[in-house]
């Protein structure tokens, strides 16, 4: 049995309204040409510090988007050939729980991890038993 003209018009209006609502709920008003999301922008933060013999330096930072996180040792002084530790981990407000570590980091060494959630993370620079004097350093932390 064919649908009446008025019933067909109502059904067509409901389908169009449903499609429009679905497109709006997805963040796009154009079903055929949806607007792609804006890709996250990486942030690089630079932190200088000093570690003493048998010492360590922990730098907390916040990650607002899931993705790659890196810490790069960009300067060492007065001796730029010294080997130290460089790590990334999670920060609970008091402690840096190390996840990715390199106990043989030299100048320009990078450690890389993946933030699987947003939240508080940390980078840690530490003596691995090779320092004979206090050492100044700079690390660049890059994340989304």
Question: Tens digit of pLDDT for each residue in 75-128?
Answer: 999 999 999 999 999 999 999 999 999 999 999 999 999 999 999 999 999 999
Distance of CA 111 to the CA centre of its chain: 13
* Per-residue pLDDT at 47: 98
What's the pLDDT score for residue 36? 73
Q: Are 144 and 66 a contacting pair, CB within 8 Å? A: yes
Greater pLDDT, 136 or 16: 136
Whole-angstrom distance, CA of residue 121 vs CA of residue 61: 5
Please count the helices (runs of H) and the strands (runs of E) in the chain: 1, 8
**φ, ψ for residue 120, nearest 5 deg:** -95, 130
Lookup: tokens for 12: 């067509």
pLDDT of residue 35: 61
Q: Extract the tokens encoding 7.
A: 């019933």
Read off the pLDDT of residues 24-70 as tens digits, 9 standing for 90 and up: 444 444 445 556 777 888 999 999 999 999 999 999 999 999 999 99
């Amino acid at each position: 049995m064919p649908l009446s003209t008025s019933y067909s018009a109502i059904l067509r209006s409901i389908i169009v309204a449903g499609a429009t609502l679905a497109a709006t709920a997805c963040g796009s008003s154009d079903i055929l040409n949806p607007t792609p999301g804006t890709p996250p922008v990486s942030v690089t933060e630079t932190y200088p510090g000093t570690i003493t013999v048998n010492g360590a330096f922990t730098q907390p930072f916040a990650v607002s988007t899931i993705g790659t996180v890196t810490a790069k040792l960009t300067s060492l002084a007065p001796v730029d050939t010294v080997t130290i530790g460089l790590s990334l981990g999670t920060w609970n407000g008091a402690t840096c729980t190390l996840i990715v570590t390199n106990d043989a980091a030299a100048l320009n060494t990078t450690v890389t991890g993946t933030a699987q959630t947003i939240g508080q993370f940390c980078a840690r620079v530490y003596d691995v038993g090779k320092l004979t004097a206090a050492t100044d350093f700079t690390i660049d932390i890059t994340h989304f």
